[in-house]
Amino acid sequence: SQTIHQWPATLVQPVGSPLSLECTVEGTSNPNLYWYRQAAGRGLQLLFYSVGIGQISSEVPQNLSASRPQDRQFILSSKKLLLSDSGFYLCAWTSIGGRGNTIYFGEGSWLTVV
Amino acid sequence: GENVEQHPSTLSVQEGDSAVIKCTYSDSASNYFPWYKQELGKRPQLIIDIRSNVGEKKDQRIAVTLNKTAKHFSLHITETQPEDSAVYFCAASRGGSYIPTFGRGTSLIVHP
């Protein structure tokens, strides 16, 4: 069966420090991969998505970036964090199918920028 | 692109009552409509879904209905329990590499 893991689960980072969140999917190949962010009590904001290795599309201009170095690995990064980057970050994946995509989320990473 | 509207943003009910959450979508080519439940501090999890060739689907106390003509779909929860309290998200998507579009979420509160 397919599984998705992301880490770390929780982190507290000072303003201006770098960030790296990692996500891996197992049990499938060539998935679509996504990074979402949730501010407290808010909806799901799509940050990045990828349809293949090295292929990244950004939905929102910001100081974050994403990379996909391997088929089932997706990384969210920042060189310098802002206070507004605090939130709950969710990695997700879907299989590329012809009848609509079921999206599955990782456990999430709580980021607090102080 | 697809646009999904979800209402209400907050829904408060007494235990045992029914709860209905409604979503509308704009892209007539959307053919898959999942619903997710997100408990506080946890990831959204799929609870039920419906495809465009079906008008209704039930799973115990949860049901989803789809009206393709009107382009809206609804989540129905009967005999609500306190553990149903969570944020619920609807979504609409097409096949292939199209990105699912989520509604803004409904916070359901079930009072004991």
- Reading chain A (114 residues) residue by residue, the pLDDT tens digits are 889 999 999 999 999 999 999 999 999 888 899 999 998 777 999 999 998 999 999 988 689 999 999 999 999 999 999 999 999 999 999 876 555 678 899 999 999 999
Cα→Cα distances A96→A76, B53, B93, Å: 22, 20, 12
Disruptive mutation site among B43, B51, B53 for chain A (greatest number of A CBs within 10 Å): B43
Which of B101, B69, B11, B88 lies closest to A59 in space, CA to CA?
Answer: B101
- Which of B57, B99, B108 to mutate: most A Cβ within 10 Å? B99
Locate A58 and state its tokens: 């950004």
Give CA–CA dist A65/A43, Å, rounded. 21
**Cα(B110)–Cα(B80) distance, integer angstroms:** 7
Using DSSP, how many helices (H) and how many strands (E) does chain B show? 0, 11
Q: Which of A46, A100, A105 sits opposite B94 (nearest CB)?
A: A100
Other Cβ atoms closer than 10 A to A8: 11
- Give the model confidence (pLDDT) of B12-71 as tens digits: 999 999 999 999 999 999 999 999 999 998 999 999 999 888 899 999 999 999 999 999
Of B49, B102, B104, nearest to A102 by CB-CB distance is: B49
Residue linked to tokens 């007494």: B14
